[in-house]
Structure 1
Amino acid sequence: MPATSPYAARLAEVPVERREVEIDGSVTAYWVYGPPPAEAAATIVAVHGFRGEHHGLEPVIAFLPGVRVLSPDLPGFGETPPLPSGRHDLEAYTGWLTAFTAAVAPGAVVLGHSFGSIVASAAVAEGLRTPRLILINPIGAPALEGPKGLLTRLAILYYTLGARLPERLGTALLRHPLIVRAMSIAMAKTKDPVLRRFIHDQHDTYFSRFADRDQLHDAFVTSVSHDVRAFAPRIDVPTLLIAAQRDDITPIEAERRLATMFPHAELVEIADVGHLIHYETPAEAAAAIRRFLRLPVAPGR
């Protein structure tokens, strides 16, 4: 039985519509939340993290009433098939995001979470036009240098085995529910049992919705081979970093250094949360976004 979302009531008040758009010969599935363009206080294109899909950012969207959010499934995840080229490196993902934004919401604010922060930053640095950039749990340092670098090395071994074992066995390893649950437990910081059940249910339900093991391995290599630092100096639009003080992937000290690398950046730190800001503290993240976009305070806050 699915776990109850603590944010279900709020999200139910937000209009949502599934759409598709052809990008470079392939179909991208995306979801449009909020009012039509003429009535929206702002429009955001939101890019989810590694092994996630559009559902992961819904708790934040629930606290952004009046904002139009277009949330695609990244190529190879959720309902979007892999890229026709078969390449899932950073250049391919940034090219896809630039084309997607131009097709469905040119001039929108761009938001990226975790791996999405790398894709969004690289795209903006390479010329994707946006008035503002928002990064949640940005990858602000090499994964191998984080406080849990050993776990990253184990993850590299895990994805390598998944790619090299016989296909059926490798795919089963990558989708194994015990490993997915272990990842979820490692990332969650909340002690609230209801919220923990919801987080684990989200990962159980959506974390294995990748297209195939080769695409997943390529995306993983991309995620651990890059970080936002390489692109920050070339991003000349106002940028908001929403960082967690207990993030095991990028420590807060590295996030503070990252903020100084942008020409125009603001850092908002959230205490008592790790790499799951979008699940554990979405109200705080949304409040920071509203301030950054100079929007009125959300009703009920």
Structure 2
Amino acid sequence: MQLIADALPEYEVFVPDLPGYGLTQPLRGADGTRTEHTVELYAKFVEALAEKLGLGPGDLLLGHSFGTIVCSAHAALHRREWAGLALSAPVTNNVFAGRLLPGAAVVELYYRLSQLLPETAGNAFLRSPTILEVTNVTLGVGWDQKLTDYVRDQHRQFFGGYTDRQTLLESYRASSRYTVADFAAQIDLPTLLLPGAKDNLSTVAGRMAVRDALPQGQLEIIRGSGHLVHYEKPVQVARAVRRFGREVGVTGA
């Protein structure tokens, strides 16, 4: 999310790692035992972090891709008084239905196969450079060489940055079994949807349905972009977030 943060210099931006990724360890219960990583648990994590940082009515909450599901679940279940909710590349459609089904079936098979392999082989499979390249080709839209090189480097650095295979598989299940639509009607916040015009992980009908289900929803299409709007059109996303912030009374520092 660095490019979006860079394009919002007047804002103080917090970008936490998802639990079990990057520098953030998997979450554990009060007794120290491992806890299953579900959408509900991720929503609690957002609530705990917001409470710790003192965030609320004067702040915007932004999620990207799977983060749009997590942030939507948080907004629906915890009712924190954010100024507004912005959802970049929102997951609006059930991937196991319609035109998204073939691709989802392949991804499901990939994760199921990774579970059958021994730990070392399974991790090698999950961090495969070939899989990363397939992801780049599948999700990229109109990339020039400079952007292609940048995205490849970002994925090389961070795509395999999970702490353990079980956490990764649980987060995959959470990301593939829910959409923003599951929580939209319960979100009592001004909400801005920012899908890429060529996002192949959503449909026009899905986006419109979510917008209409949101009590205070609005939709702004990011032209010339696919699902990876945070790489492809970060300035446009930041511009939309800034405009939305002004509408809901947040203007940055």
Give the Cα separation in 1 of the matches to 2:229 and 2:16. 19
- Asked if structure 1 preserves the Cα contact closer than 8 Å seen for 2:92 and 2:179, the reply is yes
For 1:101, the equivalent position in structure 2 comes to: 50
1:69 alignment partner, SS class:
coil
Q: Which amino acid aligns with 2:27?
A: L
194-203 or 113-122, larger mean C-alpha shift: 194-203
Runs of 5+ unmatched residues, structure 2: 29-33
Give the Cα separation in 1 of the matches to 2:223 and 2:240. 14
- Asked if structure 1 preserves the Cα contact closer than 8 Å seen for 2:93 and 2:179, the reply is yes
For 2:11, the equivalent position in structure 1 comes to: 67
For 2:24, the equivalent position in structure 1 comes to: 80
- RMSD of aligned C-alpha atoms? 1.7
Choose from 112, 123, 128 the match for 2:74: 123
For 1:20, the equivalent position in structure 2 comes to: none
- Asked if structure 2 preserves the Cα contact closer than 8 Å seen for 1:133 and 1:237, the reply is yes
Instruction: State the 1:148 CA deviation.
Output: 3.5
- Asked if structure 1 preserves the Cα contact closer than 8 Å seen for 2:60 and 2:245, the reply is no
Alignment length (residue pairs): 242
Map 1:116-155 → 2, pairs under 5 A: 116-129=67-80, 130-145=82-97, 147-155=99-107
Instruction: State the 1:146 CA deviation.
Output: 5.7
For 2:39, the equivalent position in structure 1 comes to: 90
- Asked if structure 2 preserves the Cα contact closer than 8 Å seen for 1:98 and 1:128, the reply is no
- Asked if structure 1 preserves the Cα contact closer than 8 Å seen for 2:245 and 2:251, the reply is no
- Asked if structure 2 preserves the Cα contact closer than 8 Å seen for 1:181 and 1:203, the reply is no
2:157 aligned with 1:208, yes or no? no
Question: What TM-score results when the alignment is normalised by the length of structure 2?
Answer: 0.91
- Asked if structure 2 preserves the Cα contact closer than 8 Å seen for 1:132 and 1:237, the reply is yes
1:117 alignment partner, SS class:
helix
Give the Cα separation in 2 of the matches to 1:150 and 1:234. 30
Choose from 144, 167, 171 the match for 1:219: 171
Q: Deviations over 1:267-292 (max 9, x none)?
A: 00012211000000011111111110
Map 1:248-287 → 2, pairs under 5 A: 248-287=200-239
Choose from 230, 242, 245 the match for 1:290: 242
Q: Deviations over 1:184-242 (max 9, x none)?
A: 22111123111111111111111000111111001000000000111111111100110
Give the Cα separation in 1 of the matches to 2:158 and 2:238. 23
1:248 alignment partner, SS class:
coil
182-191 or 74-83, larger mean C-alpha shift: 182-191
202-211 or 99-108, larger mean C-alpha shift: 99-108
For 2:140, the equivalent position in structure 1 comes to: 188
2:61 alignment partner, SS class:
strand
111-120 or 186-195, larger mean C-alpha shift: 186-195
- Asked if structure 2 preserves the Cα contact closer than 8 Å seen for 1:111 and 1:135, the reply is yes
For 1:199, the equivalent position in structure 2 comes to: 151
Runs of 5+ unmatched residues, structure 1: 1-56
Q: Which amino acid aligns with 2:15?
A: S
Instruction: State the 1:140 CA deviation.
Output: 0.6
For 1:12, the equivalent position in structure 2 comes to: none
- Asked if structure 2 preserves the Cα contact closer than 8 Å seen for 1:244 and 1:275, the reply is yes
For 1:11, the equivalent position in structure 2 comes to: none
2:220 alignment partner, SS class:
strand
Q: Deviations over 1:235-271 (max 9, x none)?
A: 1110011011111111233112211110111100012
- Asked if structure 1 preserves the Cα contact closer than 8 Å seen for 2:100 and 2:201, the reply is yes
Q: Which amino acid aligns with 1:95?
A: K
Give the Cα separation in 2 of the matches to 1:145 and 1:135. 22
Instruction: State the 1:297 CA deviation.
Output: 9.9
Give the Cα separation in 1 of the matches to 2:219 and 2:134. 30
- Asked if structure 2 preserves the Cα contact closer than 8 Å seen for 1:134 and 1:240, the reply is yes
Report which of the two has the higher share of strand: 1
1:87 alignment partner, SS class:
coil
Give the Cα separation in 1 of the matches to 2:98 and 2:9. 35
Give the Cα separation in 2 of the matches to 1:68 and 1:159. 37
Instruction: Using CA pairs under 8 Å that are at least 6 residues apart, name the structure with larger relative contact order, 1 or 2.
Output: 2
